Amino acid sequence: MIKRSSTLIAAVAAFVLVLSACAVEDEGGPVAIARADWSSGYMQAAIYAQLIEELGHEVTDPAAAELSPYSFYPALAAGQYDLWANGWFPIHDIFLEGENVTGQAVDLPIEPVGWQVPDGAVDGLMIDKATADSFGITSMDGVAANAGVFDADGDGKADLIGCNTGWGCHTRIDDQIASESWGSRVEQISGTYGDLMGSVVDKVKAGQAALFYAWTPNWTDSVLVPGENAVWLQSNVNDIRAVANTDFLDANPDIHRLLEVVAIPYGDILAQNAKMASADEYTNADVEADAEAWIANNRAQVDDWLAQARAAG
């Protein structure tokens, strides 16, 4: 079993102590939807919210509850939120299995539902292609052997531009650094991912070495292209899925069915992400408009989903 970070264990253990005192939001209240704190998932959250509204439910604004997985999953289990559209699996498995994060066999009342993007989301570690070609680097062992090339702060370790604290990938990268042979020569640099990746793009354009975490679909796909100016060193295939509180699903069979059938093409998400990244400013109203346009462009399919949901309800 993979060891989990002590901060994650402590936080979820504390949550377990109060879980029994918490309850799912009263039936009849608004559906409480959160969204992840990475912009590549904004449109999906808005689409789900708008579809649930079309079923006749009042829905909270996902933008008002923008959370990391570290914060969202315990809150979901406690009934503070009902669902989000931004589950990534297997990366988020650690947030579903109480025994892995608390050391106790605790059943968390949350579950992934449906297959929004099945086997279509890839994440992992990349470097710029120029450095990969120049030094013959094809793995993280190669990075460790040439750590100085990626060492901007002079501590002898390769700087890996990683994930925000609280993301599942942040924990996974830390676990790898602690357990892999190459880990002693690598350190994860965390902060605001979008800002950090902006600096990575600038480095690659300038012909400088860059080691970074990436995922698809995301705006980075259009500027850091595998085989052109970037290379995967390791990658994992993920499913993007909605995740909901099980008591909420039991109380709302129409929404349960809707979550089961909604699917959003990878290419549509990627196109919206690229549009968002290229704009000088992109507001939540713009995201909402993108979701509305996507629903309008897929109205026949959407109407079928809604009919199935209403029949289940």
27 and 117 both lie in a single domain: yes
pLDDT surpassing 80 at residue 108: yes
13 and 158 both lie in a single domain: no
In a domain, 25, yes or no: yes
126 and 234 both lie in a single domain: yes
More confident residue, 105 or 205: 205
Q: Which of 23, 42, 21, 18 is nearest to 218 (CA)?
A: 42
| pLDDT, average across residues 115-140 | 95
The strands making up 230-245's β-sheet, listed across from edge to edge, are: 83-89, 230-245, 110-128, 211-216, 158-161, 186-189
What are the pLDDT digits (tens) for 139-197? Answer: 999 999 999 999 999 999 999 999 999 898 999 999 999 999 999 999 999 999 989 99
Q: Which helix (H) or strand (E) holds 298?
A: none
271 and 140 both lie in a single domain: no
What are the pLDDT digits (tens) for 58-91? Answer: 999 999 999 999 899 989 988 999 999 999 999 9
Question: Looking at 204, 238, 272, which one is the last position of a domain?
Answer: 238
Phi first, then psi: give them for residue 233, nearest 5 degrees: -100, -35
**Structurally, how many domains does the chain consist of?**
2
The SS3 of residue 56 is coil
Kindly tell me the sign of the dihedral angle through the C-alpha atoms of 194, 267, 90, 68: positive
In a domain, 1, yes or no: no
Q: What is the CATH number of the domain that holds 96?
A: 3.40.190.10
pTM of the model: 0.82
54 and 201 both lie in a single domain: no
**Domain encompassing residue 98:** 6-121+239-312
